[in-house]
Amino acid sequence: MSSKINWPEAIKPLLKKYKNEKHPLEYKNTYQLLVMVILSAQDSDRNINKLAPEFFKAFPNMQALSNATADALTPYISKIRNFGNKGKWLTELSKTIKKDSNIPLTLEELTKLPGIGRKSANVIQRESGAPAEGVIVDLHVVRVAPRLGIASGIDPKKIEKQIMEVLPQKDWDAGMAMSFLGREICRPQPKCEECLMKEVCAYYNGWL
């Protein structure tokens, strides 16, 4: 039944609800965003938000970061999961980028940087106001999209491809909208009765 859904139409209320919602990472500029996105992989946004102010006091911009060693970063990021690799990635990319004004905003250039995959690049593009070249698929979207019936499976890349196939590019912010829905309503134990998508949801309607 969910294959009969006109998704460009059905997704509109969700896009409208979360249209101008800022990502939960509390960044102040593109440099901070880039750093925090890398640090947040496999960790919680809450944890990164807590530790970020001290980090940015020590390394206020890309130039300051490019003069640092990975070991110099450790005291600020040691409470973050996989901090060893993340410290290496940050020092490595800072030496390539050198200053804030050189931060790339295309998917191709972003994903060439160490520690940045498609999801991270899509988040950076969205938050910087760059045109979407993909769809954000985080762990919330991996849960929400198959429940809705807009995509299937658990592979983020395949889910992203499916969403890009059924929605026009102007609606690719649906990824972040589904992420917000997953954080607030479509939790592991979903609050279906409160959900504005229940009319078209495969999980709610028993179409799965």
Domains (ranges, CATH) in the chain? Answer: 2-21+136-205 (1.10.1670.10), 30-128 (1.10.340.30)
Q: Is 150 helix (H, G, I), strand (E, B) or coil?
A: coil
Please, are residues 146 and 107 in contact by the beta-carbon 8 Å criterion?
Answer: no
DSSP 41: T
For residue 208, the model assigns a pLDDT of: 83
For residue 2, the model assigns a pLDDT of: 52
pLDDT tens for each residue of 8-61: 999 999 999 999 899 999 999 999 999 999 999 999 999 999 999 999 999 999
Residue that the structure tokens 């807009």 belong to = 150
pLDDT band at 4; cut points 50, 70, 90: confident
Q: How far is CA 160 from the centre of its chain?
A: 12
Which sign, positive or negative, has the C-alpha torsion 109, 111, 150, 178? Answer: negative
Q: Which long-range contacts link 3-12 to residues 24+ away (Cβ below 8 Å)?
A: 3/149, 5/149, 5/150, 5/200, 7/150, 7/166, 7/167, 8/166, 8/167, 8/168, 8/171, 10/197, 10/200, 11/150, 11/167, 11/171, 11/174, 11/177
Share of the chain above pLDDT 90, in %: 97
Q: What is the pTM of this model?
A: 0.95
pLDDT tens for each residue of 55-81: 999 999 999 999 999 999 999 999 999
pLDDT tens for each residue of 130-156: 999 999 999 999 999 999 999 999 999
**d(C-alpha 76, C-alpha 92), whole Å:** 17
For residue 133, the model assigns a pLDDT of: 98
Please, are residues 164 and 9 in contact by the beta-carbon 8 Å criterion?
Answer: no
Q: How far is CA 139 from the centre of its chain?
A: 9
